[in-house]
Amino acid sequence: MTEVRKFNYREAVKTPVGTLSRTKQSLAAETDINYIVHRFKASGGTAHVNALPAKYGDFSEVTELKAMFDLVDQAVASFEALPAAVRSAAHNDPIRLAEMIASPEGMQALLKAENKWARPSPLVPTTPTEAGGKPPEEGGPTAADAGPQNS
């Protein structure tokens, strides 16, 4: 048969002295009522309230949070698609890249870094005549018209 307990009956839990306790002693001051009252008197009881002033304004043009995160992701993807030399010139920092683009000196540094990276290879022909072929005729078929070639 089951035992019926009285309403609000709690069994006392005793921890023998010298054994491990599950009570966090580091929270003793925060749970002491005397400390709480002392802190309330000292601070006026507003320690948990935001100290920053409220901002009022027209925020009707603000888009959704997801759209803003998508915009940031798109900006990061665009930055990562840049050549490594350009990203390195901006110390891999998109904000610094924007600052460099805004200043003439920074723009010169970026162009210099990009020119180092974009130097044509002597092994790859840049024009059809260098490749041993003849230039495409005016109005004639081009490589794009031929489609992909499987070799």
pLDDT in tens, 97-129: 888 888 888 888 888 877 765 555 555 555 555
pLDDT > 70? residue 43? yes
| Cα gap 49→55, rounded to integer Å | 15
Cβ neighbours around 86 below 10 Å, total: 19
Alpha helices in 4-136 (DSSP H): 28-31, 33-43, 65-80, 84-89, 94-102, 104-117
pTM, two decimals, is: 0.38
Residue 125 contacts residue 131 (beta carbons within 8 Å) = yes
